[in-house]
Amino acid sequence: MVRLYTNEINIGYGDQLIVKDLSVQIPDKKVTTIIGSNGCGKSTLLKAITRIISHQSGNVLLDGEDISKGNTKELAKKMAILPQTPESASGLTVGELVSYGRFPHQKGMGRLSKKDYEVINWALDVTGITDFKYRQVDTLSGGQRQRVWIAMALAQETDIIFLDEPTTYLDMAHQLEVLELLQKLNAEQERTIVMVLHDLNQAARFADYIVAMKEGEIVKAGDCEEVITHEVLKKVFNIDAAIGRDPRTNKPMCITYNLLKGEDRHEKMDASAYAAVGAIS
């Protein structure tokens, strides 16, 4: 099932076109990751889909309606976005920041209702940060702060959550912590998760669907078996990748890679690389 998709959208800044005639479908109730090199249009695409920026032509449709024509507050009840480097006002407590997620649901004077407090406390609990409710956000570690931002998105009570590089600046343990949380939210609450990731193996491990982009266009979209391949990664990243199998998930993973240069673009991996793949597969 697909509720959200784009139809030949073009997105640019001034005269520079970043995303070109791009059509993509976002599978409902699945985890989708978008991969690609820096500057390929990943973040720009997310911003256009969530109406943070406007697209120049084409359509972004949610439940059959063009999002550019809908009410902003009503759209915020369906989609939440965690930007690449979120910043909160200094001095805010965790509870205060998470409460901002209730804005689309507030009426009148904007006071929090009993239902609002129930949702806020639920979001704090499901993300494991209830004990931090009265602590200031800027006193927390990077992984803890990411959980706070995810809790705010959950408090927004949307079916779809977008995250732009949610693991940036986090160490390996905190990256895994955040990604496992998102996977849990998808599995247990059927939230549609769409995120930009740089780590190919994390994308393959946690995604049901992967969109690979280059220079504002889609090179390949599909499950990890279709996207995490030698040929696709060569086109997207200009690398000669050795693909093996994750021993825990049995999904494809990038074991090692070389940067392709000049005539090397047409050369095959050397025998030692293939031997390494064979030993791990």
Contact 161, 183 (CB under 8 A): no
Determine the Cα angle at 243 with ends 225 and 246, to 5°: 75
pLDDT at 276: 46
Q: Phi first, then psi: give them for residue 175, nearest 5 degrees.
A: -60, -50
**pLDDT given for residue 88 in this prediction:** 67
Total-model pTM: 0.86
Domain with CATH 3.40.50.300 in the chain: 2-78+159-229
Residue type for 50, please?
A: T
DSSP code for 268: P
What is the reported pLDDT for 84? 81
- Nearest residue to 47 (alpha-carbon basis) of 5, 92, 87, 82: 82
In the numeric block, the tokens 């509870």 are attached to 95
Instruction: Please give the pLDDT value at position 280.
Output: 44
pLDDT score recorded for residue 272: 45
**How many C-beta atoms surround the C-beta of residue 210 within 10 A?**
24
Beta-carbon count within 10 A of 116 CB: 17
Give the domain 2-78+159-229 fold.
Answer: Rossmann fold (3.40.50)
Helix (H, G, I), strand (E, B) or coil at 133: coil
Mind listing the pLDDT tens digit of every residue in the chain (281 residues)?
Answer: 899 999 999 999 888 899 999 999 999 999 999 999 999 999 999 999 999 999 999 999 999 999 998 888 889 999 999 988 777 667 899 999 999 999 999 876 678 999 999 999 999 998 899 999 999 999 998 888 888 998 999 999 999 999 999 888 788 988 898 899 899 999 999 999 999 999 999 999 999 999 999 999 999 999 999 999 999 999 999 999 999 999 999 999 999 999 998 645 444 444 444 444 444 43
Q: What is the pLDDT of residue 59?
A: 95
> Can you give the pLDDT at residue 266?
46
pLDDT of residue 83: 85
Which amino acid, one-letter code, is at 175?
Q
Tell the burial category of 77 from Cβ atoms under 10 Å away from its Cβ (0-12, 13-18, 19+). middle
Question: Exposed, middle or buried, 208 (CB in 10 Å: 0-12/13-18/19+)?
Answer: middle
